[in-house]
Amino acid sequence: MSDLEYGIQDCRLVLEDGTIFHGRGFGSSVNPVTVAGEVVFNTAMCGYQECLSDPSYLGQILVMTAPMIGNYGTCTLDVESEGPAVSGFAVRELSRMHSNYRSDSSLDQWLARGGVPAIEGIDTRALVRRLRSAGVMRGVISSDSSIGNEQLVSLAGSAEQMAGKNLAAEASSMRSEQWNDGLDGWCRPSPLQVDDVKPLKVLAIDCGAKRAIYRHLVDRGCDVRIVPHDITASDIRAAEPDGLFISNGPGDPSAVQETIAVLAEVAGEFPTFGICLGHQLLALAIGASTWKLKFGHRGANQPVRNLMNNQVEITSQNHGFCVDEEALESAGGTPTHRHLNDGTIAGFRHLTKPIFSVQYHPEASPGPHDSSYLFDCFIQMMRTGQPLSPGLLEEIATSGGLKQDPEPV
């Protein structure tokens, strides 16, 4: 039986430059609705539910380049946040059926419950080529036939720009809470376990984190405490953590001034690790700068070179901003990883402080686990309290991560 009665509602995706794509609505688009957002694309072949529930996509309309989406449905256990985080969703073809023993809902039903309008039946190759050539644009998805094309173009052009938006404040947890869930059976467990009697205490500043990050830390035996993005320096010190983690999240990093100011005061006072937006915030906190990419890096197949051992890692990425290399080196940082598609910085460490970060997602979800050793680098930095040395980074990366400490004889 079909999960979706096709053709119920005509739908349009309209870009601010006047480009119009006609398709069929699903999700909440089966009712007349119009939403705006920055239109971006992701090149992952699977993992659509993890992408859709990634808070880093807040305020964006996500386009998947894979030709068919939805064939395995959705599973409650696989979400990276409370539900869909995107403003809208666009695909070439929505699968008419879903089949997976873990599935508890179709993609169409899940998006409808989450209030996310979606469109299928459009030429996503043409759309992605347009975004690749002209850069990301604002756009609207509309299933409201009473709104004309010219008005939709105007709505797209008047939508808020991503630059200058502090979306981390919207995506952040509003309260402090403990995280206890580790990796499930679908992930390879870490060989490393820290002391169960006195686990390393990690204070995680939540700017819109993916849950898989916390699972990797818990799986390594860490005591993970999630705190809001606007936590004060005095509250961080009062918590006496062994390490400070800065999460991924949406929006323009330079707009998250409150968090940057706090990190400028405490980053390096405790061993500090950042991912994605956290990477950018740490760079800004030490005095570097960021800039907006033309169309960003979004996908589970992004090649990165580890500059410490010269090995290539296939990584999962989702960002539209990047750290300026010259400014980073002037601020006391040095690159550790480089994106091979365009040469931009994909990771850095501080030369004198225990601070390091990466622009991509070592937890993957979705994507490969080539870079999961970075969590072990954080563990080792918390153990020693020392800056991450090139030799240690190379050793851990080459061996695939720290190993379990041998039991005393």
361: annotated active-site residue: yes
**Both tokens assigned to 93:** 């073809």
Q: How far is CA 117 from the centre of its chain?
A: 21
Catalytic residue selected from 80, 207, 363, 377: 363
Question: Which uninterrupted H or E stretch holds 78?
Answer: none
The residue with tokens 């968090």 is 259
DSSP tag of 29 = G
Catalytic residue selected from 16, 361, 369, 377: 361
Closest to 391 in 3D by CA, of 343, 349, 331: 349
322: annotated active-site residue: no
Distance CA 409, CA 407 (A): 6
CB atoms within 10 A of CB 224: 24
Catalytic residue selected from 276, 297, 319, 377: 276
DSSP tag of 361 = B
| Residue pair 219/241 in contact by the 8 Å Cβ criterion | no
Distance CA 337, CA 348 (A): 7
At residue 143, φ and ψ (nearest 5 deg) are -115, 15
Per-residue DSSP letters for 186-248? TSPPPS----SSS--EEEEEESS--HHHHHHHHHTT-EEEEEETT--HHHHHHH--SEEEE--
Q: How far is CA 107 from the centre of its chain?
A: 20
363: annotated active-site residue: yes
**Both tokens assigned to 278:** 């956290």
Q: Would you please indicate which residues are annotated as catalytic (active-site) residues?
A: 276, 361, 363
